[in-house]
Amino acid sequence: MNKKVYLMIYDLGAGHRSTANALKAVIEKRQLPWQIHIVDAFKEIIGTTTPHYVYNQLILKNTWAKIINEPLLSPSFKLQIHLSHFAWLARFKRYWHQHQPNLVVALLPYLNKLIYESLRAVSPGVPFSTLITDHADCPPHFWIERQEQFLICPTEQAVEQAKNLGYRQERIFRTSGVVIHPRFYEPIRIDRHIERQHLGLDPDLPTGLISFGSQGSKVMLEIADCLEKSQLNLQLIFICGRNEELATALRRQKSRLRRVVKTFTSEIPYYMHLSDFFIGKSGSVGVSEAVNMKLPVITDCNALSLFQERPSAMWIAEKEIGIVIRNFGEINQAVAKLIQPNYLARYRANADAINNRAVFEAVDILKQILENSQKLLNV
Using one digit for the tens of pLDDT, what is the confidence trace for 291-330?
999 999 999 999 888 899 999 999 999 999 999 999 999 9
Average pLDDT of span 326-354: 96
First to last CA, the chain: 27
Cis geometry, peptide bond prior to residue 33 (ω within 30 degrees of 0) = no
Nearest partner of 358 among 156, 144, 152, judged by Cα: 152
What single letter denotes the amino acid at residue 93? K
Q: Computed over its alpha carbons, how large is the radius of gyration of the chain?
A: 21
- pLDDT of residue 61 exceeding 60, the answer is yes
Structure confidence at residue 101 as a pLDDT band (50, 70, 90):
very high
Per-residue model confidence (pLDDT) at position 71? 85
What DSSP assignment string belongs to 229-254?
HS----EEEEE-TT-HHHHHHHHHS-
Q: How far is CA 359 from the centre of its chain?
A: 13
- pLDDT of residue 363 exceeding 90, the answer is yes
Using one digit for the tens of pLDDT, what is the confidence trace for 186-213?
999 999 999 999 999 999 999 999 999 8
156 and 28 part of one domain: yes
Instruction: Evaluate the CA torsion angle 186, 281, 313, 310 in order and state its sign.
Output: negative
Structure confidence at residue 376 as a pLDDT band (50, 70, 90):
low
- pLDDT of residue 374 exceeding 60, the answer is no
- pLDDT of residue 73 exceeding 90, the answer is no
E strand map for 101-258: 103-106, 128-131, 150-153, 172-174, 207-211, 235-239
44 and 165 part of one domain: yes
193 and 156 part of one domain: no
175 and 223 part of one domain: no
263 and 291 part of one domain: yes
Helix (H) or strand (E) holding 300: strand 297-300
Give the dihedral of Cα atoms 185, 191, 195, 198; nearest 10 deg: -160
Contacts of 114 (CB under 8 A, 6+ apart): 81, 85, 88, 89, 92
Structure confidence at residue 56 as a pLDDT band (50, 70, 90):
confident
Per-residue model confidence (pLDDT) at position 181? 97
Show the domain range for 149.
Answer: 3-180+357-377
Per-residue model confidence (pLDDT) at position 35? 97
Number of domains in the chain: 2
Per-residue model confidence (pLDDT) at position 72? 86
293 and 309 part of one domain: yes
- pLDDT of residue 12 exceeding 60, the answer is yes
Per-residue model confidence (pLDDT) at position 378? 55
Average pLDDT of span 15-42: 97
Structure confidence at residue 377 as a pLDDT band (50, 70, 90):
low
Structure confidence at residue 68 as a pLDDT band (50, 70, 90):
confident
33 and 143 part of one domain: yes
Using one digit for the tens of pLDDT, what is the confidence trace for 247-285?
999 999 989 999 999 999 999 999 999 999 999 999 999
Contacts of 370 (CB under 8 A, 6+ apart): 3, 5, 34, 102, 103, 127
260 SS3 class: strand
195 and 95 part of one domain: no
Question: Cβ(167)–Cβ(132) under 8 Å?
Answer: no
- pLDDT of residue 375 exceeding 70, the answer is no
| Global pTM value | 0.93
Per-residue model confidence (pLDDT) at position 119? 98
Instruction: Give me the CATH number covering residue 286.
Output: 3.40.50.2000
Question: Cβ(333)–Cβ(339) under 8 Å?
Answer: no
278 compared with 214, residue with greater pLDDT: 278
Nearest partner of 273 among 193, 177, 358, judged by Cα: 193
115 and 173 part of one domain: yes
- Counting other chains too, the contacts that 352-357 makes at CB distance below 8 Å and 24 or more residues apart are 352/294, 354/177, 354/291, 354/292, 354/319, 354/321, 355/176, 356/176, 356/177, 356/178, 356/180, 356/288, 356/291, 356/292, 357/175, 357/176, 357/177
Per-residue model confidence (pLDDT) at position 67? 82
- Cα(91)–Cα(96) distance, integer angstroms: 9
Rounded percentage of the chain residues whose pLDDT exceeds 90? 84
341 and 373 part of one domain: no
Question: Cβ(148)–Cβ(117) under 8 Å?
Answer: no
139 and 230 part of one domain: no
Average pLDDT of span 114-130: 97
- pLDDT of residue 179 exceeding 70, the answer is yes
169 and 221 part of one domain: no
Question: Cβ(186)–Cβ(269) under 8 Å?
Answer: yes
Structure confidence at residue 372 as a pLDDT band (50, 70, 90):
confident
